[in-house]
């Protein structure tokens, strides 16, 4: 009987048609890169993974301890309240007050997220209808683009180029497009370019969003990962930004909590309410014990954040020194554990990343995974690997003559 059930189910699967919606987007970049990694490991390659941005350091002990305690509390064995526990929302508001100096109403201007990836998707589902336009940086975190397409919307790409320090030129957006736009996504400190934005740009973006009646979504997942004395601002440091903006935060990178799936959205009460309402129909919020651990993170010491930033800074400096020897000219990034690097002349992003894996056993994502146009000609490395292993990666590049300028032919 088992056999016939399995047979039927396999047969049905074979005939199953996925939706046009799903067919309209590619598989998630890191799911694909993960498969490449596994295949290389299966071939016996000692892979150095400079792919996904996943902190290699553990979650700080005081956060893990808070989780242990909360797991033992039966209150947390039940469904958590929709939108986050009152304690979680209050702790978010207090953290923002301390960190950025503004006040938030924890009841109407804060909601919990199962990580900011989920928040991006659901925000789009809450606001974007068939045919609506979303203003999306190119390159950018792929979820802005794919979820817009899933919602039936149309991305309008805002190029991020080194000439403009990876800041979009808002004046270059045709007014007719801006008037049709529903959401504009910004993300500073930026993934994948590591660019940073100042308050003057945020002021311009807020004015633009107000003029064209656009919801401005600022993704601030890397707020605390900054170096050389740089401090990243929040969009709500701009007076009046709350009238049109929502900001997404994640504990993943700040507290080495990628696997815990917890973040929060703050800002415009209507946008926060819409996001919470759509989420209430789809998920049942963050595990209560994880919210308790997040509160410990907000209230705890910042030593671990500073220690990790120092590690990333050292790795960045090592990478720049080694890549300089290989012919690259790179400016040190002020934030994020990413480096956005041009591929050598005469090659393209995909071919270069394949070469890195096939010849040197180094896994890096191609720029095209982040941006259809401006991502071409780039690859990204994440600095989530210890210095020794990182050095080995650059040694392997040298050994395989993977340099920025093609080696000169001998005469």
Query: C-alpha dihedral over 186, 187, 188, 193, to 10 degrees?
Result: -110
Q: Which residue is nearest to ligand MLT (CB)?
A: 53
Min dist CB 188 to ligand MLT, Å, is: 15
Nearest to 220 by CA among 197, 243, 244, 203: 197
Min dist CB 143 to ligand MLT, Å, is: 8
52 binds ligand MLT (CB under 6 A): yes
Burial 224-237 (b: 16+ CB within 10 A, else e): bbbbeeeebbbbbe
Report the residue from 111, 147, 191, 385 that binds ligand MLT according to the rule CB under 6 A: 191
By beta-carbon proximity to ligand MLT, the closer residue of 192 and 361 is: 192
In the numeric block, the tokens 């956060």 are attached to 63
111 binds ligand MLT (CB under 6 A): no
By beta-carbon proximity to ligand MLT, the closer residue of 53 and 80 is: 53
Min dist CB 101 to ligand MLT, Å, is: 28
By beta-carbon proximity to ligand MLT, the closer residue of 190 and 291 is: 190
By beta-carbon proximity to ligand MLT, the closer residue of 30 and 404 is: 30
By beta-carbon proximity to ligand MLT, the closer residue of 197 and 384 is: 384
261 binds ligand MLT (CB under 6 A): no
Count of C-beta atoms within a 10 Å radius of residue 275: 26
With CB under 6 A as the rule, give the number of residues binding ligand MLT.
5
Contact 404, 327 (CB under 8 A): yes
Report the residue from 37, 89, 117, 334 that binds ligand MLT according to the rule CB under 6 A: 117
CA 122 to chain centre: 15
DSSP string spanning 337-400?
SEEEEEPPTT--HHHHHHHHHHHH-EE--BGGGT-TTTTTTEEEEE--S-HHHHHHHHHHHHHT
82 binds ligand MLT (CB under 6 A): no
The DSSP H or E segment spanning 305 is helix 303-325
Report how far residue 136's alpha carbon sits from residue 186's, in angstroms, rounded to the nearest whole number. 8
By beta-carbon proximity to ligand MLT, the closer residue of 288 and 367 is: 367
53 binds ligand MLT (CB under 6 A): yes
Q: How far is CA 62 from CA 40, 134, 254, 273, 383, in A?
A: 37, 40, 14, 32, 25
Min dist CB 252 to ligand MLT, Å, is: 7
Three-class DSSP labels, 44-95: CCCCEECCCCCCCCCCCHHHHHHHHHHHCCHHHHCCCCCCCCHHHHHHHHHH
By beta-carbon proximity to ligand MLT, the closer residue of 93 and 381 is: 381
30 binds ligand MLT (CB under 6 A): yes
122 binds ligand MLT (CB under 6 A): no
Min dist CB 184 to ligand MLT, Å, is: 20
Min dist CB 47 to ligand MLT, Å, is: 16
By beta-carbon proximity to ligand MLT, the closer residue of 53 and 155 is: 53
Residues near ligand MLT (CB under 6 A) are 30, 52-53, 117, 191
């Amino acid at each position: 009987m088992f056999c016939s059930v399995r047979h039927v189910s396999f047969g049905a699967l074979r005939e199953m048609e996925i939706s046009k919606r799903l067919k309209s987007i590619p598989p998630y970049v890191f799911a694909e890169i993960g498969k490449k990694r596994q295949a290389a490991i299966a071939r016996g390659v000692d892979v150095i993974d400079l792919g996904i941005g996943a902190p290699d350091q553990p979650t700080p002990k005081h956060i893990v301890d808070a989780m242990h305690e909360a797991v033992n509390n039966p209150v947390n064995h039940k469904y958590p309240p929709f939108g986050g526990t009152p304690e979680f929302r209050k702790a978010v508001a207090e953290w923002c007050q301390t960190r950025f100096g503004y006040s938030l109403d924890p009841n109407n201007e804060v909601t919990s997220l199962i990580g900011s990836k989920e928040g991006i998707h659901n925000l789009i589902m809450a606001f974007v209808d068939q045919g609506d336009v979303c203003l999306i940086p190119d390159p950018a975190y792929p979820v802005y683009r794919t979820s817009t397409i899933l919602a039936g919307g149309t991305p309008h790409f805002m190029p991020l180029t080194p000439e403009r320090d990876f800041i979009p030129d808002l004046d270059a957006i045709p007014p007719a497009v801006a008037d049709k736009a529903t959401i504009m996504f910004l993300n500073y400190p930026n993934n994948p370019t590591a660019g940073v934005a100042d308050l003057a740009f945020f002021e311009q973006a807020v004015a633009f969003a107000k003029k064209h009646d656009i919801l401005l979504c600022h993704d601030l997942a890397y707020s605390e990962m900054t170096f050389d004395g740089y401090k990243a601002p929040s969009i709500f440091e701009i007076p009046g930004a709350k009238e049109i903006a929502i900001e997404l935060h994640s504990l993943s990178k700040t507290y080495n909590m990628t696997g815990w799936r917890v973040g929060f959205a703050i800002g415009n009460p209507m946008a926060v309410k819409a996001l919470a309402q759509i989420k209430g129909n789809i998920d049942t919020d963050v595990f209560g014990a994880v919210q308790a651990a997040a509160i410990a993170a907000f209230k705890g010491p910042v030593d671990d954040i500073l220690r990790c930033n120092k590690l990333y800074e050292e790795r960045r400096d090592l990478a720049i020194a080694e890549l300089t020897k290989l012919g690259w000219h790179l400016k040190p990034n002020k934030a994020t554990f990413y480096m956005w690097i041009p591929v050598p002349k005469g090659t393209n992003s995909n071919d270069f990343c394949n070469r890195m894996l096939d010849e040197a056993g180094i896994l890096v994502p191609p720029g095209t995974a982040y941006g259809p146009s401006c991502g071409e000609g780039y690859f990204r490395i994440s600095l989530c690997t210890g210095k020794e292993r990182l050095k080995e990666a650059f040694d392997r590049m040298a050994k395989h003559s993977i340099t920025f300028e093609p080696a000169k032919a001998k005469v």
